[in-house]
Amino acid sequence: MVIFSPNQQAIANRIDADTAIDRWKDWRWQVKHAVTDISTFERLLGIEFPEDEREALEETIRKFPLRITPYYLSLIDADDYWNDPVFMQCFPQPAELQVEACDMADPLAEDTDSPAPCITHRYPDRVLFLVSNVCAMYCRHCTRKRRVGDVDSIPDEAEILAGIAYIRENPCIRDVLLSGGDPFMLSDSRLDWILTELADIPHVEVVRIGTRTPVVLPYRITEKFTAMLKKHHPLWVNTHFNHPAEITASSREALRRLADAGIPLGNQSVLLAGVNDCPRIMKTLMHKLVQNRVRPYYLYQCDLSEGLAHFRTPVSKGIEIIENLIGHTSGFAVPTYVIDAPGGGGKIPVMPNYLISWSTNKVVLRNYEGVITTYQEPDSYEPVYCDRKCDTCRLQLKLDDADESKAVGIARLLSNDESISLVPENTERFDRRHDDDD
Ligand SMILES: *Cc1c(COP(=O)(O)O)cnc(C)c1O
């Protein structure tokens, strides 16, 4: 028997006293009744904003639209909504309209790094494939805020096929990350079709899907849906919980179904001022995630997208949170804290410093308690210089993957005698060199 919270009862009654509670768990009903305007929000939550505030809110959602499922709305504490982490993530704030000097429409250069429709190809062996522009709820902290609600950028079948063709033509791609929008907002059959097409490409070894439906629309995860997903292993799913208040009976059930379908689950949180910028909140969240078989994957520093300035914390807050996790709790409950490099450099891990010093054969380290310790390095290690000439190496690699011998980036600096440095192109010094060449 389904148990509804008092908030859910109240919201359902206000939507439709006769039928809403019966249809509450129907995900399409939830999508159909998503709140997209301020007055419906007020009516369903039983609150009222002052007239001048409402005007500023209307102006904000004209630029960055509003969308909240009745389910996610029901998690808001109506008596203290201004302090509510769920409210903060779904309800507009006029501060979104303040543009800072550092703000960018597309800070991660996802559009620039796009060689084919719906594809961002940034890393050597994996691509981001944006297959849906639709979300159940519009996160106020969305990094792709520029595109939210933009019907012109909903990928049609031809564009998806062009993306799939790109993946098929590039054998270096072994990992495809479906994102959007939210791929779980596609119909079962459409997602089944995309996953079937990808399964048909021999070099695609794994597919992952990024979705926030377990958080904002858990009823999407039906038994029929997970039965379909199960056909497409190895399939990984990453979701996006930011606060322990989002872990409810319904979201736990959604996670249980995904995990029972054999899908490894990960979580990507975003560090948000006023929502989860607190070591205790974060530790509780991580514990609740692992209890539900979800492995914390990344903790993101908030991006430089336009309209997110009021959510950003200093990097020190993220370091402080990681400092409060490593050693203090299970290793698998600690996410990697990353900054997604503006300009398209990809995710850069940032960590507290544990390596204090280093001499010829001894490292000085500190642990989470502040104990300073040393590790004696071996005297007898015969240095093996890895120049990636695997055919002359004494280690029996027994791998025939020729591609791996090619080193890239910093790994190349370490392995290749000819490369002395990686030089940034946009410096005056570099420009002068070009002039000399002329
Ligand atoms: C995050 C991301 C990936 C996946 O990165 P992982 O570190 O493997 O999770 C791939 N492509 C793009 C463009 C990304 O932003």
Q: Can you give the CATH number for the domain in which 259 is found?
A: 3.20.20.70
162 with 300, same domain: the answer is yes
195 with 137, same domain: the answer is yes
The residue whose C-alpha atom lies closest to atom 6 belonging to ligand 1 is 347
Q: Decide if 118 is catalytic.
A: no
Atom of ligand 1 nearest to the CA of 297: 9
Residue after which a domain boundary falls, among 73, 92, 111: 92
Using DSSP, state whether 342 is helix, strand or coil: coil
Is 1 a member of any domain? no
Q: Decide if 139 is catalytic.
A: yes
329 with 365, same domain: the answer is no
246 with 395, same domain: the answer is no
128 lines ligand 1 (CB under 6 A): yes
Is 59 a member of any domain? yes
Q: In this structure, what DSSP letter does residue 371 have?
A: -
Is 103 a member of any domain? no
371 with 408, same domain: the answer is no
Predicted pLDDT at 434? 66
Cα distances (Å, whole numbers) of residue 239 to 128, 179, 183, 297, 336: 15, 11, 11, 10, 15
Q: What is the pLDDT along the chain (438 residues), one digit of tens a residue?
A: 467 899 999 999 999 989 888 999 999 999 999 999 999 999 999 999 999 999 999 999 999 999 999 999 999 999 999 999 999 999 999 999 998 888 988 888 888 889 999 999 999 999 999 999 899 999 999 998 878 777 666 789 999 999 999 999 999 999 999 998 999 999 999 999 999 999 999 999 999 999 999 999 999 999 999 999 999 999 999 999 999 999 999 999 999 999 999 999 999 999 999 999 999 999 999 999 999 999 999 999 999 999 999 999 999 999 999 999 999 999 999 999 999 998 888 999 999 999 999 998 999 999 999 999 999 999 898 887 888 777 777 777 666 655 566 788 888 888 876 778 887 787 787 777 766 554
What residue type is 67 in one-letter code? R
163 with 195, same domain: the answer is yes
Task: Assess contact for 89 and 159: CB atoms under 8 A.
Answer: no
Q: How many helices (H) and strands (E) would you count in the chain?
A: 16, 12
Phi, psi of 415 (to 5 degrees): -115, -10
Element (H, E) at 299: strand 294-300
Atom of ligand 1 nearest to the CA of 340: 15
Residue after which a domain boundary falls, among 75, 92, 109: 92
Task: Assess contact for 252 and 215: CB atoms under 8 A.
Answer: no
Using DSSP, state whether 151 is helix, strand or coil: helix
Is 35 a member of any domain? yes
Domain span at residue 427 reads 390-437
373 with 406, same domain: the answer is no
Q: Decide if 340 is catalytic.
A: yes
267 with 358, same domain: the answer is no
31's CB contacts (< 8 A; 6+ apart) are: 69, 136, 185, 217
Predicted pLDDT at 1? 46
Is 60 a member of any domain? yes
Catalytic residue among 23, 168, 256, 347: 347
Atom of ligand 1 nearest to the CA of 175: 8
Q: Decide if 144 is catalytic.
A: yes
Residue after which a domain boundary falls, among 57, 92, 127: 92
| Stated pTM of the model | 0.93
For the beta carbon of residue 101, count every other beta carbon within 10 angstroms.
Answer: 5
Task: Assess contact for 238 and 266: CB atoms under 8 A.
Answer: yes
73 with 161, same domain: the answer is no
What's the total number of domains in the chain? 4
20 with 148, same domain: the answer is no
Predicted pLDDT at 389? 78
Q: Which residues of 106-115 are buried (b: 16+ CB within 10 A; e: fewer)?
A: bbbbbeebbe
Question: Ligand 1 centre from 175 Cα, in Å?
Answer: 10
- For 72-156, list the strands marked E by DSSP: 119-120, 126-132
88 with 167, same domain: the answer is no
149 with 166, same domain: the answer is yes
Task: Assess contact for 71 and 216: CB atoms under 8 A.
Answer: yes
Is 98 a member of any domain? no
